[in-house]
Every structure is written in C-alpha cells, then in structure tokens.
Amino acid sequence: MTDQRQHPSNVPYVVGIDVGTGSARAGLFALDGTMLSTAKRDITLYREAGDIAEQSSREIWQAVCASVREAVARSGIDPASVVGIGFDATCSLVVLGEGGASLPVGGSEDPDRDIIVWMDHRAVAQAERINATGHPVLAYVGGRISPEMETPKLLWLKENRPQIFDAAWQFFDLADFLTWRATGDLARSTCTVTCKWTYLAHEKRWDADYFHKVGLGELADDGFARIGQTIVEPGSALSGGLSAAAAAELGLKPGTAVAAGMIDAHAGGIGTVGYGGRPEENMAYVFGTSSCTMSSTAEPVFVPGVWGPYYSAMVPGMWLNEGGQSAAGAAIDQLLALHPHAPKAAERAAERGVPLPVLLAELAQASVADPSQAVHLVKGLHVVPEFLGNRAPFADPHARAIIAGLGMDRDEESLVALYVAGLCGIGYGLKEIIDAQAQSGADIARIVISGGAGQHDFVRQLLADATGKPVVAPEAGEPVLLGAALLGALAAGSFADARSAMHALSAADRVYTPTDGAVAAVHAARYEAFRTLQEAARTVRGC
C-alpha cells in the first residue's frame, strides 16, 4: 500500500481491470505509470469432459466490483479522483437473453453458466467445416480459423443448443460485456471483433457473405445487431461513462470515463511493446496459462498459421500478427503432474509459499554455475508440450504432447530436468512462430515478456537462449493491468493518443541476452529434434 501523502487525492488516477481465466484483478495507477495498489478475486472455471470450459458473467462482474473497491481503498485516495477505467479480458463468449438475462451455454442447463471460455474446444468440428469453405475472410486469421474464436462457437450453439442461440439478445466478447455492464453502451472494441469475430477493421465492415456461407446468416440478416453494429478503437470513451448503478457497485463516481476494452493479451502488448519507441521491432510475449505472441507491422503481413493480419487491433494504425499456444503455463503444470515426485515437491513449494514451477526454476538455477548452462541438464530428454493442440504456426487443434527420452527416475533431480525440458519446448515453439513470421516478412528484434509464468530470471534466460532473441523484462510489474489502465487514461483524455501513452509508460527493467557458442549449438540441435518429433507425431496420428 502506498502512502496517501506521496500520492495526493487532488491528482487524477486510472483503474485497470484484468479478467483472466482464473481471477479478476484491479490495479490503481498514477498517470506516470506508477501502480499504487492491486486487488484480486478468484473466479470459478467449470470444466467438463470433451474440452468444455464455462464461466459465469454474474460472478465475474461481482469479482471485478470487489477488486476495484479493494484496490481503491488500499491506496487511500479519494475515489472521486479516479478519472478513467479500462477493461481487458479473455476472449470468451458471453451469451445474454432479453434484458441482459444469462442463458445456459451447455448441458448443465445452469443459466449462471453463460460463458463459453476461450480455451473451450467444443467447436473443433465447426471450425473445420468453416475452414473447408476457404472463404477469403480466413486470410485474416492465418488461413485457418481456431475453435477458440467466436464464429465456430456460435455455430456450435446454433447446431447444438438452437433454443439458446435463438433466444440470445447479445453475443459479447467478455471485454465488451464488461464495458456494456459498466456503461450500458453496446459498442464493441476493434480489438475483440477483429481478432476473434472476423470483423474486417481495415474495411470497417463485417463480411455478410462469410456469415451466410458458414451457416450464421441470420446474424448478418439482422444487420449484425447481436454481435456489434458500432465498432470503436480500444481506449475510445464510451457514451455516458460509468452508469449510476455500476458506479455504486464499483465504489466510483458516476460518469467516470470508461474505455472500449481489449483482449487480455493485447492489453499486455500495449503495456510493453512501446519499449524503445518502435513497436514494430518488439514481439509482445504474454506467458501465462496460455501464451500469446503479438507483432506489429506498418503493412499487412500474411503468415500461414498465425492469426491476422488484424488492422488497429492493438497499436492504432498498425497491423497485428498474433500467435501463441493454447496451453503454456498450463502445459508445464500438466507435464509436472505426470512425474511421481511432483506431489512431494508441491508440498515443499507450498511450505515456501511459491508455485511448484517457481521452486523448480530455483532448483535448476542453483544446480548450474550459470542459467544458460541448464540446457545441459536435459541431454536426451525432449518435450513438445502441445497438450491442447498447436495454435501457431500450424493451427492444429489435434496436435498433442510428446515426451521423448524419459526414464524411470523418480527423484527431485529428474523432476527438475523434466521441467527444464518442458521450458525448452515452450521456447522452441516460440521460435517456430518467430521463424514463420520472419519468412513472411515480419521479423522482430526482441521479445518483451509479461505474464505470471515468465517472471523468473531463469525462465527468461532460457527463453532467450532457446529462441536466439533478447528477452526484455518490462519495468512494470503488472504490464497487463498497466495496459488496461492506459486505455482508461486515453478515455479520460490524459494522453493525446495510444502511441504517446505507450512510449511514456513502457520501460525496460532488464534485458536477457542469448548465449552464444556451445550453448547456442545445443539449442539449435534440440530445436531440430523438436521439429522432428512434431512431424513424427503428425505422421503417426490416428494409428
């Protein structure tokens, strides 16, 4: 908690709100980027067989309100000095009936479960049928649409729960739901609808032919009223600002500026890629439960298997290519759970008050003279951590993980080695995306990392060595929250435009340089082994 005397109430502040997969968080920021306080509330994730994942918009809104009230109270400032609010959220689908009533999206028939979560893969068959159309719109999602995107999920709803599809008044991306809940404004963000709904921002239009061809023509026939008729850039001030009802719930002043929001990873992007004043040189890498890569270019670059190019979806006026993996931190957790020593190590981590991967990073770092030497701990042990498919650059939801070279060791040392091998696999998957983009003309100079799974020095150095690119750790401890707060500052008129705000608020804390010589040679060989194993898995699939 920051002393109020250092941050008086008679200066403006902004609130950034981040809704991730497992929690809602709020951060209070001064306009120089200083974070005064944060608060967090966990949210429920309903998991079922068949890659089903659902959540509750009611619970999420309550968690947001509680987090904001606590963050403001902790700071000691006058709530009336908050001038702007920005939201980011996972790209999950919220389904509401007339009057905003929640509708059940799955077999539970619980109307409170009105969200199909981004990671839900129930719509794989629908995505494959959409891809089989070869529609020109698909060129702007890397050539193949993902079941994580919204039109396959909408088609699944229509085919499997037609009564819910027909009863729906609005289909929202979660970030747009939150801004509607805060203001009553139905405007959608360019970020959400361009990246996940096939809106063509560079032409400022939906493609009605696409919706008719894939079986969702009724959404076009009603003028897209259920998915967004007014599309605005992230950071745009929404009409009326904070409603009286929402203000009472959040503990803030009615009329406070509310910004059009962003997808959570993209908020992390604008909170980091302004480093050096040249966003086109920086790849934003958000390493959390999943991972997301975001690169900006002045002209559109089409990269097979990499989402985009999306116009003005992150940096206004620039094109965005987006990659990453559906499971990253979650893939490491899944990998570790397979090892017999994991329960005992988890107990030790709990006693220390740290997550198991953090404990293993510390043990790995302590076992070598230099973090770059950790690759020698895993000779002959290889992991392709695609437990939930390959999002990029292969756009292959059917891909699955591979572990090669695993023996019968059951001790702590072998658990540490498995963890390091898994991290190497994460790094090589990241390198595949970087290489695919470079081959298409979208090379980058460095990686700017954020996200909970990428906070340890050991992890950052290993990723630099595995990719061959410098990894920049931003000065902001919470770049995703900072990105959301930046949107609130834009809505309040505190900065002239997004680029000036990004440049003012982005700074590096440390740069991790790739190790050359023998270490680089080992990683190069392991990268080729990684690609060989991927190809072998595709060859034997279905046998």
Please give the pLDDT value at position 274: 78
User: Per CATH, is 329-433+516-540 categorized as 1.10.8.60?
Assistant: no
The widest CA-to-CA distance across the chain, in whole angstroms, is 68
Percent helix / strand / coil, the chain, rounded to 5: 45, 20, 35
Could you report the per-residue pLDDT of 500-536, keeping only the tens digit for each?
A: 888 787 778 899 999 999 999 999 999 999 999 999 9
User: Domain limits of the chain?
Assistant: 13-262, 329-433+516-540
> In this structure, which topology does domain 13-262 adopt according to CATH?
Nucleotidyltransferase; domain 5 (3.30.420)
Model confidence at 311, in pLDDT bands (50, 70, 90)? very high
**pLDDT score, position 50:** 75
Q: Vertex 484, ends 483 and 489: CA angle to 5°?
A: 90
Is 80 exceeded by the pLDDT of residue 7?
no
Cβ atoms of 43 and 59 within 8 Å: the answer is: yes
* pLDDT bucket at 4, cuts 50 / 70 / 90: very low
Distances (CA, A) of 142 to 66, 103, 154, 490: 39, 32, 20, 30
391 vs 50, residue with greater confidence: 391
Please give the pLDDT value at position 61. 98
The per-residue DSSP string of 165-230 comes to: HHH-SEEEEHHHHHHHHHH----EEHHHHHHHS--BTTTTB--HHHHHHHT-HHHHHTTTTTT-S-
Domains 13-262 and 329-433+516-540 share a fold: no
pTM, 2 dp: 0.85
Residue for token pair 């698909």? 138
Residue 8 — very low, low, confident or very high, per pLDDT cuts 50/70/90? low
3: confidence class by pLDDT, cuts 50, 70, 90: very low
Q: Which of 183-197, 376-390, 490-504 has the lowest mean pLDDT?
A: 490-504
Mapped onto helix, strand or coil, the DSSP state of residue 16 is strand
Give the whole-number percent of the chain exceeding pLDDT 90: 86
How crowded is residue 414: how many other Cβ atoms within 10 Å of its Cβ? Answer: 18
- Is a pLDDT exceeding 90 seen at residue 499? no
Average pLDDT over the chain, rounded to whole? 94
User: Which of 23-27, 194-198, 495-499, 531-535 has the lowest average pLDDT?
Assistant: 495-499
% of the chain surpassing 70 pLDDT: 98
Q: Is pLDDT at 243 greater than 80 in this prediction?
A: yes
Residue 91 tokens read as 């790209």
The answer to whether residues 197 and 152 touch, using CB atoms and an 8 Å cutoff, is no
Q: What is the mean pLDDT of residues 406-413?
A: 96
- CB atoms under 10 Å from CB of 412, counted, come to 16
Q: Which CA distances in Å does 272 have to 42, 503, 508, 516?
A: 25, 9, 9, 26
Taking Cα atoms as reference points, which of 189, 123, 131 lies closest to residue 150?
123
pLDDT band at 9 (very low <50, low <70, confident <90, very high): low
